[in-house]
Structure 1
Amino acid sequence: MQDAAVLKGTNDGYELVLDERASMNEIFSSLSKLLDKLKTQTASVSPKAIKFDVLTGNRLLTSEDRKKLEEIFSNYEYFSIHKVLSEVISNERAEKIRQQENVHVVDRIIRNGQDVHLEGDVIFLGTVHQGGKLFVSGNLYVMGNVHGIVQAGYPNIETKLIIGDLHNAQQVRIGEQFEILDDVSENNLTRESVVYVNDLHVIDYGKIEDLKRINPKFFNMVGGVING
C-alpha cells in the first residue's frame, strides 16, 4: 500500500502530505514511521528544529484527529507542526466568514440560460448548471457545484476574489477579466482555488495558503479565518 504520509521539500520548508483516501489509523501509523526514519537520518548532524506544514487534502481533521497529531509530534523534540492546511471550506469556517463580513449565504439552482445577479460577498451552496451564470458584485466563495459561468466584482471591480472548487466551471470572470477554464491546466486548480486578477491585469490562480500574498488587505479583513 502507498504510504499514507509522505514528506515533500519545498522552497519554504517541509510539507507532510496525508493521503485523504487512507484511514486516520493508517495515517498516524505511517506518520510515526516517517518521523522515526527522519529522526534517525538527522541524528548524525547537529540538531535543528524543523516545522512542518501538514496537508490533509480533501479531508477535514476533527479535534480528536488534531489532538492525536499533536501527540505524535510531542514525541520528537526537534519536530513540530507549523500549520495544518485543508482544501475544504468547512461549514464552521463559512459561518465565521459570514458572521465577520456580513456575507450572504445563497443556496439555489441556476439553470441553463439563467442569469443571476447578487450584491455583496456571497457564499454559494447551490448549483450553477452549464449555461447558467452567477454574477456577484463582491467576493464569491463556492461551496456548491459550478458547471457554468461565475463572476466576482461585477461589473468591473478587479480586486475581488473567487474561492472554491472550480474544476467543472465553464468560465471565471473577475471585473472585466475572464478565462475559459478548458484552457487552464488542471494543476492550477484545487478544491479550494483562489482566483484573482494579478498585477498584469490578467486572471491568475493560487492556493488558499497563498491568500496573504495574493491579497493582504482581504487576508487581514477575514483575520485568518480562511486558514483557521
Structure 2
Amino acid sequence: MQDAAVLKGTNDGYEIILDDEADLGDIYASLKELLENLRDQTTATHPQPISFDIQTGMRLWSAGNRSEIEKIFSNFQLFSVHKIISDVITKEESTRILEQESVHIIDRIIRNGQEVHVQGDVLFLGNIHEGGKLFVGGNIYVLGNVHGVIQAGYPDLEDKMIIGDVHNAQQVRIGEQYEILDDTNQKITENSVIYVNDLHVLDYGKVEDLKQINPKFFNRIGGVMNG
C-alpha cells in the first residue's frame, strides 16, 4: 500500500506523510518501500544524508510505534528521522500546556532542603526559608517572603520575570542566569522587576517601567501596571 507513506518536499527539506487511517502494517511496509526507492535514486545520482520530518496526522503514535519507525530507518545509512509530528497531543501534554498558561497561587512554607517545581506563572504568598527553592516555569509575582532560592523561567527561559521584593533571597535566577544576593543589595524593592536584558545578564527595574522592560508582557496584562 504505497499511499500509506508519501514523500513531500518542503522549504526546509523532506517530509513523509503517513496515512492516519491506514493499518500500521501497511504503513511500515509502505515506508520501507518508499525509502528503498529513494535510496536507489539518490545513490545513483548524488548520495548524501537526508533527515526527514514524519507527519502522522490525527493518529497519536505510541513510543513503541515510534521505535518501529526508527528501526526501519536504521536499515538505511543515509536516512534519518529529524522529528515525528502529530496533529494531536496526549492528555499529559495538554495538561502541561494548560498549567503553563495558568497563574498558580502558592501560599505555603518551603523549608530548608525542599524544592518546589511549578509550571506556568505563580503568585507567591508564602515563605521560602533559607535553603528552600522555588522553581517556576513562567513569571513569579512575589508578595510573600523569600530567604532561599527563587527562579522564574525554569529551566532555561530568559523572557520571564520576577516581580516583587526578594532582597532577602539567597539567589535569584531567570532561565540559566543567576545572581547571589547579600545584605548590602539595594537594587530590589517591593516594586522591583528582575529580568534578563539584551546582553543576557540579570537586570533590575521598577514596575512602572514594565512597558519598556517587556512590552509583550505589558500588553498581555492590558497595561494595568502603567504608572
Counterpart-to-counterpart distance in 1, 2:119 and 2:196: 20
Distance 1:153 1:182, change over 3 A: same
Counterpart-to-counterpart distance in 1, 2:123 and 2:226: 16
**Residue deviations 1:126-174 (CA, integer Å, cap 9, x gap):** 0000000000000000110000000000000000000011121111000
Residue matched to 1:139: 139
Residue matched to 1:209: 208
- Please say if residues 105 and 124 of structure 2, whose CA atoms lie closer than 8 Å, have aligned partners that are also in contact: yes
Counterpart-to-counterpart distance in 1, 2:114 and 2:185: 28
1:43-82 to 2 correspondences below 5 Å = none
Q: Per-residue deviation at 1:182?
A: 1.7
Q: Per-residue deviation at 1:226?
A: 3.0
1:54-133 to 2 correspondences below 5 Å = 102-133=102-133
Distance 1:127 1:183, change over 3 A: closer
Structure with the greater alpha carbon radius of gyration: 2
- Please say if residues 110 and 133 of structure 2, whose CA atoms lie closer than 8 Å, have aligned partners that are also in contact: yes
Counterpart-to-counterpart distance in 2, 1:199 and 1:114: 33
- Please say if residues 150 and 173 of structure 2, whose CA atoms lie closer than 8 Å, have aligned partners that are also in contact: yes
Give the RMSD, CA atoms, in angstroms.
1.6
Residue matched to 1:200: 199
- Please say if residues 168 and 183 of structure 2, whose CA atoms lie closer than 8 Å, have aligned partners that are also in contact: no
Residue matched to 1:180: 180
Counterpart-to-counterpart distance in 1, 2:226 and 2:190: 14
Q: Per-residue deviation at 1:185?
A: 3.6
**One-letter amino acid matched to 1:171:** Q
Relative contact order higher in (CA < 8 Å, ≥ 6 apart): 1
TM-score, structure 2 length as denominator? 0.54
Local SS of the residue matching 2:134 = strand
**One-letter amino acid matched to 1:182:** D
Distance 1:156 1:180, change over 3 A: same
Counterpart-to-counterpart distance in 1, 2:160 and 2:138: 6
Counterpart-to-counterpart distance in 2, 1:143 and 1:183: 19
Local SS of the residue matching 2:154 = coil
Counting aligned pairs with the same residue, the percent is: 72
Counterpart-to-counterpart distance in 2, 1:112 and 1:225: 36
Distance 1:116 1:195, change over 3 A: same
Alignment length (residue pairs): 127
Local SS of the residue matching 1:204 = strand
Counterpart-to-counterpart distance in 2, 1:102 and 1:227: 23
Residue matched to 1:222: 221
**One-letter amino acid matched to 1:192:** N
Counterpart-to-counterpart distance in 2, 1:107 and 1:212: 28
Q: Per-residue deviation at 1:199?
A: 0.5
Which ranges in structure 1 are unaligned for 5 or more consecutive residues?
1-100
Distance 1:223 1:169, change over 3 A: same
Matched, 1:159 2:159: yes
Counterpart-to-counterpart distance in 1, 2:162 and 2:138: 9
Residue matched to 1:63: none
**One-letter amino acid matched to 2:206:** K
Q: Per-residue deviation at 1:227?
A: 4.1
Which runs of structure 1 show a deviation greater than 2 angstroms over 4 or more consecutive aligned residues? 225-228
Q: Per-residue deviation at 1:184?
A: 6.7
**Residue deviations 1:27-77 (CA, integer Å, cap 9, x gap):** xxxxxxxxxxxxxxxxxxxxxxxxxxxxxxxxxxxxxxxxxxxxxxxxxxx
TM-score, structure 1 length as denominator? 0.53
Local SS of the residue matching 1:209 = helix
Distance 1:181 1:139, change over 3 A: same
